[in-house]
Amino acid sequence: MFGKKVNNVRVFPVTVKIVLTFTLFILISNFTTNYINLMFNRNELFKLMNELLTKDLKNIYAYCGNQYDIFQYDKNLEGSVKSIENMGIHTLKSEKGVILGIQDDGSILFQSSKIQKVQKFEDADTLKTFRDDLARKKDEGPVYFKFNDENYFGMYKFNPRWNSFIVRGEELNEFYSNSNRIFRIVGFVIIVITAVVAIIGIVILGFILRYINVITSSIMKMINSQQLELIDLDGATNDDITYMGTAFNSLSSTVGNLIGIFRKFANQDIVLKAYRERQIKLEGEKKELTILFSDIKSFTHITETLGTDIIKLLNLHYDRAIREVVKYNGVIGSIIGDALLAVFGVLGAESNSNKSYEAIMAGYMIQEVTRDLRDRMKKIKDDMQSKKGGLTKSEALVYKAVLLEIGVGIDGGEVFYGTLGSYVRMTNTVIGDNVNAASRLEGLTRIYKVPVICSDYVKKDIEAAMVNPDIVFIELDTVMVKGKTTGKKIYWPILTRDYNEKIKRQVAYFEAGLKLYYAGDWKMAKKQFAACKLPVAEEFTERTKQSCPRNWNGIWEMKTK
């Protein structure tokens, strides 16, 4: 009962301490202590909530700035406001939390919430406080206000660009409901424990220490699964053990945030490797991968026309294009100005589909993203013309510059994939002939006037892995690109959904012409190509205006990259 000595230091059993403490003081002190603890917790929760509200406010404030830039660009106020509201909705976790954009006259610019929207901010006193603070050069701070007939607290900041007060608030009763519920539960537990504490002290001890097993079991599970998670402390009592679990959760959340930031600057495979192996080495390995290369056409002219605004245009394009690459399990190899290199097949078991199929689907989605951007710019131009009657010369040049067009080349095979650089600064990259080949294929899209060109490897890889891939491969040519000594077949992959009867008829003309073209009968081939209305036939119509070269082997040699 009185413990034992270890190195002349008496160590008392935790059981004795807890049982004595429970029997002597629980009736006198626990209700008072827990009430005080509740008050302190409320105060700390309130501070923490203010920090979280401030963080949310900063995020929505920054996002409002971005949307204002977009609004200035496309003059679509409704679209920008809707985007801000959607972003705010994703930020909110509680049922009555709100994010408001309140204009000086009290009208609501935007409202992100799960409750019914209102048109007017009715709390005149709070609105007056906002105005008075702004007059005193104070444009942010905490605030209590009434909204939807309920009391709120939160943080606000004035946004001069939107000329609105941005408010992030939480409803007071909803905020305090959990702490009141916990206090009632704890009070009930104290009464039950007090009634039986003298008899079942060991049971109480096991109850108090139960979260040691929860914490240790959770940590061991994380070690085995190599996945960082939060420990479930729901229902845990307020003690050092729970605090240890809370501290771990806080650390886990911090590391999780860092990993989230890390993911934005590194590919998913690198993030997973860093987490599992605890380090990244300067190393690489041979892998069979599919490479996608996209490039913006006439980029030099676009840059000269737009100047520094090219960054905004590129970000508008890449923001959606990269999302589509990631959606189809691709990783970004590099972004060099107008060029995007993506690699498919790196994630291995993380992807359930064929890497070449995913590359083609991503390629067409990038084309769709670019087309949507062109449509958006055309609408802006049409609106300007309807208001002004026409465009100035400089406006016409800008309009032409923002109508982005891209080509996509896809090749695959065995490449070296790994990490290069130094332990001071490193990057993951892909090296191989197929990488250069994908770039060359992208260049050919300008000649053959098709959106996507792939190699024979991509075609065979898909056909070997998939029974009905919903892709039709149209053979375009057999070419020998600059720097190579052998010819390769190239294909135009068409999605089945787009392969209608009209295109089928035109493809039939083209395929008939290509067969004669390979055979050296350029005169007859020319007639078939002339009958074909597809843009790809134009290149062959030009070629077959001349006589078939001597020693023709069916391979067309490209003189430029």
Q: What is the mean pLDDT of the chain?
A: 81
Element (H, E) at 305: helix 299-306
Mean pLDDT is lowest, of 5-9, 23-27, 196-200, for: 5-9
* pLDDT for 560: 66
Q: Name the CA dihedral angle for 489, 490, 496, 501, rounded to a multiple of 10 degrees.
A: -80
Express each pLDDT in 145-173 by its tens digit.
999 889 998 899 999 999 999 999 988 88
Percent of the chain residues topping a pLDDT of 90: 28
- What is the rounded distance in angstroms from the CA atom of residue 67 to the CA atom of residue 78? 11
- What is the rounded distance in angstroms from the CA atom of residue 321 to the CA atom of residue 292? 12
Higher pLDDT, 206 or 319: 319
| Range 12-29 average pLDDT | 60
3-class DSSP state for residue 297?
coil
- What is the rounded distance in angstroms from the CA atom of residue 268 to the CA atom of residue 266? 7
Q: Which two tokens stand for residue 393?
A: 């010369």
- What is the rounded distance in angstroms from the CA atom of residue 545 to the CA atom of residue 552? 15
- What is the rounded distance in angstroms from the CA atom of residue 31 to the CA atom of residue 186? 9
* pLDDT for 11: 43
* pLDDT for 17: 60
- What is the rounded distance in angstroms from the CA atom of residue 443 to the CA atom of residue 295? 8
For residue 264, pLDDT over 80 is answered with: no
- Alpha carbons within 13 angstroms on the beta-carbon side of residue 67 total 22
> Looking at residue 450, what DSSP letter applies?
-
| Range 250-271 average pLDDT | 63
